[in-house]
Amino acid sequence: MDAVIIILQVTIILACLVFGAKKGGMALGLIAGIGLVLLVFVFRLEPGEPPVSVILTILAVIGCAATLQQSGGLDVMMQAAERLLRRHPEQVTILGPLVTWTLTVLCGTGHVVYTMLPIIADIAIKKDIRPERPMAASSVAAQMGVTASPVSVATVSVVSIIAENTDKNWSVPQILMISMPASLAGVLLAALWSMHRGKDLDKDEDFQRRLADPEFKANVYSGSTTLIGKVFPAEAYRATSIFLGAIAVVVVLGAVEALRPAFPDPETNEIEPLSMNLAIQIVMLAAGALILLTCKVNAGKIASTAVFKSGATAMFSIFGVAWMTETVVHAHLDSLEKGLTSVLADHVWMYAIVLFIIGKLVNSQAAGLLVVAPMALSLGVDPVIVIGFIGASYGYFILPTYPSDLAAIGFDPTGTTRIGKYIINHSFLVPGFIGVITSCLVGTVLAQLLLA
């Protein structure tokens, strides 16, 4: 009977995830509320703990990043990236993904990719390079950069999850020593494979047939999208410096524990250094305030930026989904331990598969980690394994419904970056699998060498 009840409750979670993901936007977090009502009021489960600390960290980071965008500082970074790409246009299939990955690493969110996509398409077309090659790889790379960023919610979440569920107190730099090279290796291999994918434009029969249409040809070869030559005020450059400085401070605080003030733990009364979650919140709020006060930012427009809107949506989804899942896991922890501990002990790779699937269902790497990692650790999975497989949290490339993938399709006027006839055969599938599998393999090796 207990097994039937657990299956029913897990089915409620999965139904909420699938339906919420299908509706998109904030629906995922809202639909989770229905799941919570059923679990708490019908099944009488005690509500789990909502991920308040992680949510506050997201809020601080997106607030600072949105202030940077409103100041024009994000465009400064984009312009520097475009200069690099246009200086070496023939290498756009390699450099495009590296640029989008780097931007995500610096900003903590893959949503900064949108400005770069039309630029990458323009450069590829001018060099007669099939745009699908750099476009698909660049979209994938932007999302893979999330687990390599010192200020991303996914990275900070893993640090907090490990500290709260084990006796390990690994720092952000220690995690990045594994996740950053693992993620980069996946991006590079996906980009190298992409260099030879599909037919060149002059040999693509379908493209050449459509090129006979004057309107289509004009659309493909019309005008350039560029930030080159655009002059930004001094405040934009100042904002960029403040933001990059804040990232450097976060990394240093994570690496040197002695720099963080220490306080008595309310439960153990032992002196503990300030948690990295709180440190990041303080630093990012202060950096956002400095940008606001010194860079002529219109405070009323910060909340209307693309970065803030996308970040707030992700934050709301994480709130509902993680709370709903924690409620079920906490209620049946003993039963789950009996049924799954031996399975995970003998087949640790199953953790990566579960994380990959949940990451797809919730369309968020941070949310996927918040759902799966604590459960895995409570079931006895080695935290070294959790760190090594962090790249498996990127599963939402399976279906081409994520905003950056749809943007890549929309910004490619040649139509080579596309969704296939059978939906699943789209431009992002193979680069995504190459990136994630490579990241997991490299991450696992590095985690065993550096943390075990």
DSSP-derived secondary structure for 233-269: -HHHHHHHHHHHHHHHHHHHHHH-GGGS-EEE-TTT-
Look at residue 224 in the predicted model and tell me its pLDDT: 66
pLDDT digits (tens, 9 = 90+) for 329-382: 778 767 665 666 666 666 788 889 988 988 887 778 888 888 889 888 887 889
For residue 420, pLDDT beyond 90? no
- ∠ CA 64-70-76 to the nearest 5 degrees? 95
Segment 264-272 mean pLDDT: 80
Look at residue 197 in the predicted model and tell me its pLDDT: 92
Look at residue 137 in the predicted model and tell me its pLDDT: 96
Look at residue 422 in the predicted model and tell me its pLDDT: 75
Segment 167-190 mean pLDDT: 93
> pLDDT exceeding 70 applies to what percent of the chain?
95
Q: Coil, strand or helix: which one is 272?
A: strand
**Block residue for tokens 């655009």:** 230
Q: Helices 52-71 and 306-331 sit at what angle, rounded to 10 degrees?
A: 170
Q: Which residue has the higher pLDDT, 341 or 301?
A: 301
Q: Residue 173 CB: number of other CB atoms within 10 A?
A: 16
- ∠ CA 396-73-70 to the nearest 5 degrees? 80
Segment 241-247 mean pLDDT: 93
Give the DSSP per-residue string, 331-377. HTHHHHHHHHHHHHHH-THHHHHHHHHHHHHHT-HHHHHHHHHHHHH
- The model carries a pTM of 0.79
Domain positions in the chain: 51-450
The residue among 136, 167, 405, 349 whose CA lies nearest residue 268 is 167
pLDDT digits (tens, 9 = 90+) for 187-243: 999 999 999 999 998 888 888 898 888 888 888 887 666 788 889 999 999 999 999
Look at residue 14 in the predicted model and tell me its pLDDT: 83
Segment 392-419 mean pLDDT: 85
Query: What average pLDDT is seen over the chain?
Result: 87
Q: 65 falls in which pLDDT band (50, 70, 90)? A: confident
Q: Which residue has the higher pLDDT, 272 or 54?
A: 272
Indicate the burial class of 121 (C-beta count within 10 angstroms; 0-12, 13-18, 19 or more): buried
For residue 401, pLDDT beyond 80? no
Helix (H) or strand (E) holding 52, with range, is helix 52-71
For residue 291, pLDDT beyond 80? yes
For residue 59, pLDDT beyond 90? no
Indicate the burial class of 300 (C-beta count within 10 angstroms; 0-12, 13-18, 19 or more): exposed
For residue 82, pLDDT beyond 80? yes
CA distance 171 to 148: 14
Look at residue 170 in the predicted model and tell me its pLDDT: 87
Look at residue 255 in the predicted model and tell me its pLDDT: 78
Look at residue 337 in the predicted model and tell me its pLDDT: 58
Q: Which residue has the higher pLDDT, 145 or 358?
A: 145
Look at residue 223 in the predicted model and tell me its pLDDT: 63
Look at residue 371 in the predicted model and tell me its pLDDT: 80
